[in-house]
Amino acid sequence: MKTLTELYISGNRIVDVAPLSTLTNLTNLELAENFIKDIRPLQILTNLKRLSLESNFITDINSLSALTNLTELYLDNNPYSDAGNYRGGEIDVLFGR
């Protein structure tokens, strides 16, 4: 699993993303429609280029600033309150509420 580069696990009732932090070669991660609140464990996935987190329960996205290769970020339908601290202008696509 260490060589895995893409993982699509949307709609699986996932609450804890900490186990995914070992998948450091991921470039594309789809986690939409789960029950995720805390995304801090994902900050170690620095190879991510595309991250889909739509329809979860995320309130804080500041930890995503560590994802320096991220070019696509999908966040719509989350209760996050402050997206302003996220490396403004450096993301090609940012979808939120």
Secondary structure (3-state) at 95: strand
If you search the block for the tokens 């994902």, which residue do you land on?
42
pLDDT(17) > 90: yes
Give the confidence band of 80 by pLDDT, cuts at 50, 70, 90: confident
| Alpha carbon of residue 80 to chain centroid | 13
Interval 39-68: pLDDT, tens: 999 999 999 999 999 999 998 888 999 999
Name the strand (E) or helix (H) holding 8: strand 6-8
Under 8 Å between Cβ of 28 and 7: yes
Structural domains of the chain sorted by starting position, each given as residue range(s) with its CATH number in brackets = 1-97 (3.80.10.10)
Give the confidence band of 21 by pLDDT, cuts at 50, 70, 90: very high
Percent of the chain scored above 90 by pLDDT?
A: 69
